Amino acid sequence: MRLQPREMSRRNLLSMIGKAAGGGLMYQAMATLGHAQESSYRGPLKLDRAKRGGTVLVLGAGLAGMTAAYELRAAGYTVQILEYQERAGGRCWTLRGGDSVTELDGTRQTCEFDQGLYINPGPWRIPYHHYALLDYCKRFGVQLESFVQVNYNALVHSTKAFGGKPQRFRHIQADVHGYVAELLSKATNQGALDQAVTQEDRELLLEGLRAWGGLDSQYRYRESHAASEIRGFDSDPAGGLMPLAKPSKPIGMHELLESRLWSQINIGQLYEFQTAIFEPAGGMDMIAKAFEREVGTLIRYNSKVTRIEQSAKGVTVSFVDAKGTGAGAPQQLKADWCVCTIPLSILSQIDIQVGEPMKQAIAAVPYGASFKVGLQFKRRFWEEDEAIFGGISYTDLPIEQISYPSNNFNTRGPGVLLGGYAFDDTHAYEFTALPPRERIRAAVEFGAQLHPQYRKEFQNGVSVGWHRIPWVNGCFGIWSDEARKQHYRNLCEIDGRIVLAGEHASYIPAWQEGAVLSALDAVKRLHTRAQAS
């Protein structure tokens, strides 16, 4: 059945373009047709003054727990925090030289990075639209710097294409865009979209496609100055009597499609990874330390929660010394209310006195495996030899990606890069099953297929397999659509005098923003109930 003219709306056209070519072309078309918009900022939480004498016990001094404690204390509650570790921050964690990592079987690593070098084994970037987290960074004086998510000079790599030789990100992206633009231009010129767009829109679309795809005057994608302005030149423009610029030759369309490398270049188009993206200067735990400066006096460290009870009058939490001293002699703290931010992977092993719906919800969420490997090299060869300054290279090897540091560019001496990061798939489970030394060795061997300098320049490394970290047993909560439908509300509802918070109690799991927003929502609802009680 042939579509009628009105059935192909601008929205349908944009959807078609997005499916064919990814978010970059769709956004350009949106801008051309006047549909691109931005979000607004809602501002910080404001609570009425709490009733005198109200007490709250917060379990966990990660970002969710410290956010809850900060806001509740500001509202007038007396707050205490129990934290399993010797430090605050939870997965907001940075490893530097001298730091140690102990896994479930007792295996212990000591990080050997040079002074000033570090790796973030947990969260490592902050999107510009994570407004709540950015607001706390501003209020608490956390200095931010740019995180390079997309570097067009980084690499995309497949063991099954181009003889296993890595390709430049910009070459693959430019060629994909160029061929798609050429195909869509042909369809437009041949009248295939006459029913989809007006004559005016057709002219605008062709104009945009020519610029976006680097097409020549005949709307063809081929070796040309226009194409090289996007994909780069074989010999760059120079000065004086140096050789003239030499345009680069696009990869053939069939070879490009067969390589499937085009599937690796769209991550920067995702909303979560669109610039600007930030990182705290000096390491992600600068955020944790800033929160800790605000609420550190409320935290009782090395406290392992063993039981959470409640009655109509309050909450009683039993705990022991996490270091082992005093084991067998549980201590107790009591409060009117409890905000529990313990990861569900741990909370499911604790005796907690809540209703069956919440218990089932706690047990319904598995946690991602995830691993990261930080590697120190004698020099920043990725910058010196290959002009890769920040950004991420992608590969079908088990390490999946290599991220180059977004700071201290063009400096001498050793450097640390993220030598592997995988989550939620076979690679993550395979790596977390390996001993730390084997993870590091494997990361070096795999990475050498993208950067041969690895073997000569490698100095030391450190690895975190999140399924083997005893205080979390996984990286983040993995919700299925069915589990959310059945259990999410039961997980987040206040049960008597207990409410849960954390990235697992949000629609953006694995992100610090999810943890903070979850805590703010839990605090607001708990405060409303406390005021009414």
Query: What CATH number corresponds to the domain at position 13?
Result: 1.20.1440.240
Q: Helix (H) and strand (E) counts for the chain?
A: 18, 25
Q: Is 48 inside a domain boundary?
A: no
pLDDT in tens, 185-207: 998 888 877 777 788 888 999 99
Contacts of 154 (CB under 8 A, 6+ apart): 168, 169, 388, 391, 392, 393, 404
* 356 plus 489 within the same structural domain: yes
Q: Is 304 inside a domain boundary?
A: yes
Please check the confidence at residue 267 and state whether its pLDDT lies above 90: no
* 86 plus 99 within the same structural domain: no
pLDDT in tens, 272-320: 899 999 999 999 999 999 999 999 999 999 999 999 999 999 999 999 9
Can you give the pLDDT at residue 39? 26
Q: Is 438 inside a domain boundary?
A: yes
Rounded CA separation 171/176 (Å): 9
Q: Is 294 inside a domain boundary?
A: no
* 221 plus 279 within the same structural domain: no
Q: Is 46 inside a domain boundary?
A: no
Rounded CA separation 384/387 (Å): 6
SS3 per-residue string spanning 253-279: HHHHHHHCHHHHCCHHHCHHHCCCEEE
Can you give the pLDDT at residue 520? 95
Query: What CATH number corresponds to the domain at position 85?
Result: 3.50.50.60
* 380 plus 360 within the same structural domain: no
pLDDT in tens, 478-532: 999 999 999 999 999 999 999 999 999 999 999 999 999 999 999 999 999 999 9
81 bridge partner residues = 58, 299
Q: Is 266 inside a domain boundary?
A: no
pLDDT band at residue 328 under the 50/70/90 scheme? low
Can you give the pLDDT at residue 325? 61
* 327 plus 344 within the same structural domain: yes
Rounded CA separation 448/443 (Å): 8
pLDDT band at residue 234 under the 50/70/90 scheme? very high
Q: Backbone dihedral region of 23: left (phi > 0), alpha (psi from -120 to 50 degrees) or beta?
A: alpha
Query: What CATH number corresponds to the domain at position 463?
Result: 3.90.660.10
pLDDT in tens, 427-478: 999 999 999 999 999 999 999 999 999 999 999 999 999 999 999 999 999 9
Q: Is 49 inside a domain boundary?
A: no
Q: Is 125 inside a domain boundary?
A: yes
* 81 plus 228 within the same structural domain: no
Please check the confidence at residue 27 and state whether its pLDDT lies above 50: no
Rounded CA separation 185/208 (Å): 10
pLDDT in tens, 83-136: 999 999 999 999 999 999 999 999 999 999 999 999 999 999 999 999 999 999
pLDDT band at residue 25 under the 50/70/90 scheme? very low
* 279 plus 395 within the same structural domain: yes
* 141 plus 190 within the same structural domain: no
This model's pTM is above 0.85: yes
* 61 plus 203 within the same structural domain: no
* 374 plus 464 within the same structural domain: yes
Can you give the pLDDT at residue 188? 87
Please give the average per-residue pLDDT across 377-403, as a whole number: 97
Please give the average per-residue pLDDT across 219-236, as a whole number: 94
* 279 plus 374 within the same structural domain: yes
* 167 plus 244 within the same structural domain: yes
SS3 per-residue string spanning 200-256: HHHHHHHHHHHHHHCCCCCCCCCCCHHHHHHHCEEECCCCCCCCCCEECCCCCHHHH
- Number of domains present in the structure of the chain: 3
Name the residue range of residue 307's domain: 55-90+299-364+478-532
